[in-house]
Amino acid sequence: MSLMTLLSYAIDLVAVLLLALGIKGLSKVRTARSANGLAALAIGLAVLGLLIQTQPSLEAWLWIAIGTAVGGLLGVITAQRVPMTAMPETVALFNGCGGLASLLVAVAVALYGGAQAESGVTSTDLVEQISIVISVFVGAITFSGSIVAMGKLQGWIPTPGWTQSQVRHGVNITLAVAALVGALTLPADTTGSSLWVLVAASSLLGIGVTLPIGGADMPVVISLLNSYSGVAAAAAGFVVGSQLLIVAGAMVGAAGLILTQVMCTAMNRSLVNVLFGGALGGAAPVGGGGSEAGYTRITSCSPEECAMALETAERVVFVPGYGLAVAQAQHALRELSKMLEANGTEVSYAIHPVAGRMPGHMNVLLAEADVPYEQLIEMDAINPEFPRTDVVIVLGANDVVNPDAKRDPSSPLYGMPVLEVDQARQVFVVKRSLGAGYAGISNALFELPQTAMVFGDAKAVLNGLLSELRELGVGKVKAAA
C-alpha cells in the first residue's frame, strides 16, 4: 500500500470521526453552530482525501474547480438571502440536491463504468449492481420528492383532487412495478433503456408519493427525505468504493429515520399513515385555513389589556408557531422578553417538536434573535411548569396547543402530545383570525375562560405590547439599577 493511499485512509478516518461528532452536536441548540462547522470540516477533508487517492488529471481538476466555485457561490448567496420563513423549503432543496448527486454518480457508473473500467475491467459485481439500483431508485425519489415538497411549502404546487382518492395508490403501485422491472432487467441490458426506465419511474414515484401530503405533515416528510438522501449517498459509496461515503450516508440515513420517528410520535401519526393514508390536512393549502364558525364563547382583548397582565406577571411562557416566522417577529419578541426580564419576570419559550415547517424550525428562528439557549424548553420539560405560569402568550401556533388532543377521543388530534398551556392562569393567543390550523378543526383552547384572543399580525401585536409596557414604565427602574 502506497504512502498516498495510507494518507487518504487516515484523512477519511478523521473525517468520519468529525462528521459523527458534528451530527451528535446538532442535537443540542447550544452546540449546533460549532457542530455544523465540524461537519463542514469533515466534508472538506473527505474531498481532500479523495483527491489524494485519485490524483485527478488536469481536465478533472478544472471541472472540480468550476464545480466548487459554482456550488460555493450558490451556498453563500442562499445563506445570505433566504429568510427564516423559507428555511424549510431550503432544507428540502438541499435534500433533493443530495439525492440528485447520488443519482448522477450511479447513472455515470452504470453508463461508463467506475474505477474498474479504468483498469480494463468492464463487468460489475453483484454488490455494485445492487448499489447502482438502490442509489438510482432512492436518489431519484429523494430529488423529485424534495422538489415537490419545496413547491408545496412555497405555495407553487397545489394538491390535486385525484391525489386524495384511491387513484393515487394505483398510480404509485404502477410506477413502483415499472421501477422494479427496470431494476431487474438492468444487469442484462446493454442498450441503457432499463436504466432510464428506472430513473423515470423512480422520479415519478417520488412526485406521486409526496404530492398528496399536506403542510401539517411536512416536518415528517422533510425528515424522511433527509434520511433518503443519506441512504442514497451510502449506496453511492458502494458504487464508487468510498468507505467514507458509506459511513457518512449510513449515519445521515439513520439520524433521519430517528428524527422521522420523533416527528411521527409528536404528531400521534404513523409513517404509513403520513405517506399512504389520509394526510392530516392533506388537502389543505399551505398556510392553513379552515372555517371560523363554531365558536360561541370567544373573548378578545387589546394589546393594552395584555400588557397590563404582563406587567404584574412573575412567570411568562411564550409559545412560538409558524405565524411568528411568517410575521418575522422574532426580534420584537426578544425585545419584549428583555423588557420583562428587566422587570423581574421569569421568561421561557415552550418548543413543540412539530411547531413550524421543519424539525427545529422554532429553535433556529429564535436563535437568530439571540434568545438564550437555556430559555428554549422542550415540550416534556415545560408541560409540568404551566400550572405555576402566570401568563402564556401563544404566537401563531394552533394544533400544538389544542387541549382536545388530551380529552376528546373523537378529535382527529386525540393522543397527539401537545403543550398544556390550558393549565396556565392566563393565556393570550395572538392570531390574525379564528381560522383553523392544518387539522381543520376548532381549537377548544380559544373558548376557555382564562383565554383571550389578541387579533393581528404577530409583529404588530408585539410592537404594540412594547409600546404599552413602555408607557407603564415596565423594566425602567430595574434596568437602571
- 3-state SS, 300-363, equals ECCHHHHHHHHHHCCEEEEEECHHHHHCCCHHHHHHHHHHHHHCCCEEEEEECCCCCCCCCHHH
Partnered with residue 317 across adjacent β-strands are 348, 392
The amino acid that residue 164 corresponds to is: Q
- 3-state SS, the chain, equals CCHHHHHHHHHHHHHHHHHHHHHHHCCCHHHHHHHHHHHHHHHHHHHHHHHHHHCCCHHHHHHHHHHHHHHHHHHHHHHHHCCHHHHHHHHHHHHHHHHHHHHHHHHHHHHHCCHHHHCCCCCCCHHHHHHHHHHHHHHHHHHHHHHHHHHHHHCCCCCCHHHHCCHHHHHHHHHHHHHHHHHHHCCCCCCCHHHHHHHHHHHHHHHHHHCCCCHHHHHHHHHHHHHHHHHHHHHHHHHHCCHHHHHHHHHHHHHHHHHHHHHHHHHCCCHHHHHHCCCCCCCCCCCCCCCCCCCCCCCECCHHHHHHHHHHCCEEEEEECHHHHHCCCHHHHHHHHHHHHHCCCEEEEEECCCCCCCCCHHHHHHHHCCCCHHHEEEHHHHHHHHHHCCEEEEECCCHHHCCHHHHCCCCCCCCCCCCCHHHCCEEEEEECCCCCCCCCCCCHHHHCCCEEEEECCHHHHHHHHHHHHHHCCCCHHHHHC
Q: How far apart are CA 429 and CA 177, in angstroms?
A: 49
Confirm if 261 and 150 have CB atoms less than 8 A apart. Answer: no
| Catalytic residue status for 370 | no
203 φ/ψ angles, rounded to the nearest 5 degrees: -65, -45
Q: Could you say which of 12, 399, 404, 457 is catalytic?
A: 399
Sign of CA dihedral 165, 171, 172, 174: positive
Q: How far apart are CA 379 and CA 383, in angstroms?
A: 6
- Residues tagged active-site: 399
